[in-house]
Amino acid sequence: MDKRERAAVFRARLQAGMKQAGITQSALARQAQVDRSTLSQLIKDDGARLPNGQLVAACAAVLGVSADWLLGLSDLPEQAQDLVANAISMTQAQRALVDEKIFAWHQEAEGYKIRHVPAALPDMLKTDDILRWEYAPSLGKTTEQAMGASNDRLEWMRSARSDYEIAIPLAEVESFARGDGYYRDLSPALRRPQLEKIRDLHAQLYPTLRLHFFDQRKLYSAPVTIFGPLLAVIYIGQNYLVFRDTERVAAITAHFDELVRAASISQRDIGTYFDQLIAKMG
């Protein structure tokens, strides 16, 4: 872009910014602390005249746009801090089966592939007994009501036009099967139906549902969900860290793809794998 073209872009964007902000030339000149005639000449001039950096910065600050956008160096009018705020955000994570925020993200991404690394076993594949055991301490006296509402949402997620890929650490599944660590209070009578449910759902829903089991000693992953190309969400406990910019969503998607490539069990062998886990329980 030569100087004349850039000057034309500046004039057009300055006027567009004024229109968007609902501000007159006189008000802009006053708030930017620039002579009104100087600003008027800049807008009316059809030559190659460009303002100095101080004037560009002052106009950008008043209009709430970036100086780069005014000068044609960016196609995004937002200021840097607004771009960051829109691209990355932190939102509170409720201790619930499917909280309002998660459900809203699923609805937003309906029709796109959902990629998920759960913090434990995936909620949408759990039996009611396991959900009750896991969430009763945090849901208190409203456990049954909360489970009813959440199960409705889980059923919506299962029936939505989205394919699901879920990557689960092998150690998590095998710890559950043995009933140790986090699952030490669960009896075999509760653990066995859960393993059977995961096995059967995979058989029924494949290829809409794909399960990938990876070795955490070779490749680690934090809990994360990727909602198509729209956003990626990392779970950090009491909060979700949400990314909406294309570059970071693509990077987190590439990380998930690495988990898929590192999967230790093929799709056709998942049923056999779960049969073996169940058999060892006696």
Q: What is the pLDDT of residue 83?
A: 43
Q: Which residue has the tokens 């950096």?
A: 53
* CA–CA dist 89, 104 (Å, integer): 15
* CA–CA dist 259, 179 (Å, integer): 25
Q: What is the pLDDT of residue 215?
A: 95
Q: Are 1 and 43 in contact (CB under 8 A)?
A: no
Q: What is the pLDDT of residue 50?
A: 84
Q: What is the pLDDT of residue 38?
A: 86
Q: What is the pLDDT of residue 277?
A: 97
Q: What is the pLDDT of residue 81?
A: 53
Q: Are 43 and 51 in contact (CB under 8 A)?
A: no
Q: Which residue has the tokens 């699923």?
A: 106
Q: pLDDT per residue over 182-212, tens digit each? A: 999 999 999 999 999 999 999 988 998 999 9
* CA–CA dist 35, 175 (Å, integer): 73
**Regions in the chain scoring below 50 on pLDDT:** 80, 83, 85, 141
Q: What is the pLDDT of residue 139?
A: 59
Q: pLDDT per residue over 59-89, tens digit each? A: 999 998 888 889 988 776 555 455 454 555 6
pTM: 0.68
Q: What is the pLDDT of residue 138?
A: 67
